């Protein structure tokens, strides 16, 4: 395990706190995670948020799930780890929980119907290089004939050149190129630097 072991690599049971330990440190841990997430939540247009996941954000989700479900047996803990570990970046990619939000249920239904396929039109772009489009919802069926889902999981693969440019400070844009929803955002340097740490 190198110095990247904090950021990279899958979570194992030994990395988790017991329910008792977590209940004691939850407030402090939650504060640290929310602070960390500040540069990893990107609003794209008025109705979409991308949450860039990493080992810390996923550990928090697992700990919360174990707490809420009162899971303390080894097999149950392992099931949660197996479900969540694929959302941790592998060092050559970014992994994103993609949320579509419309407060009004009727509008949500109508908009999700016209936004079918939106998850495949999400992209990231390092200045001077081609866009990399998302690989969406691996192993999950998140769309039906009528509409897209309001939650998707995205993986963006970065070439060695892209990763190297991100780490040396090149500007990064992210966006969605869909006929019904077309927005792009230039990441701030703090946002880019946070995401650069996901790359080995």
Give the tens place of pLDDT for each residue, 74-131: 999 999 999 999 999 999 999 999 999 999 999 999 999 999 999 999 999 999 999 9
pLDDT for 6 equals: 45
- Where in the chain are the domains? 3-196
Do strands 41-44 and 131-133 pair parallel, antiparallel, or not at all (unpaired)? unpaired
Residue 5 CA neighbour count, 13 Å, CB half: 5
Residue 142 has pLDDT above 80, yes or no: no
3-class SS at 29?
Answer: helix
| Rounded Cα–Cα distance for residues 99 and 108 (Å) | 12
């Amino acid at each position: 395990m190198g110095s990247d072991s904090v950021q990279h690599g899958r979570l194992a049971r030994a990395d988790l706190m017991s329910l008792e330990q977590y209940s004691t440190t939850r407030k402090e841990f939650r504060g640290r995670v929310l602070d960390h997430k500040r540069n990893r939540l990107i609003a794209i247009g008025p109705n979409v948020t991308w949450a860039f996941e990493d080992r810390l954000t996923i550990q928090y989700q697992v700990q919360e799930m174990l707490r809420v479900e009162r899971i303390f047996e080894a097999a149950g803990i392992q099931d949660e780890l197996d479900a969540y570990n694929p959302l941790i970046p592998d060092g050559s990619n970014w992994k994103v929980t993609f949320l579509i939000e419309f407060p009004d249920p009727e509008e949500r239904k109508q908009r999700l119907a016209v936004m079918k396929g939106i998850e495949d039109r999400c992209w990231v772009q390092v200045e001077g290089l081609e866009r990399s489009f998302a690989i969406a919802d691996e192993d999950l069926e998140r769309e039906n004939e009528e509409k897209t889902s309001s939650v998707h999981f995205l993986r963006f693969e970065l070439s060695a050149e892209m990763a190297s440019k991100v780490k040396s400070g090149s500007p990064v844009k992210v966006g969605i190129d869909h006929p019904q929803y077309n927005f792009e955002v230039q990441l701030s340097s703090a946002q880019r630097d946070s995401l650069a740490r996901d790359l080995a």
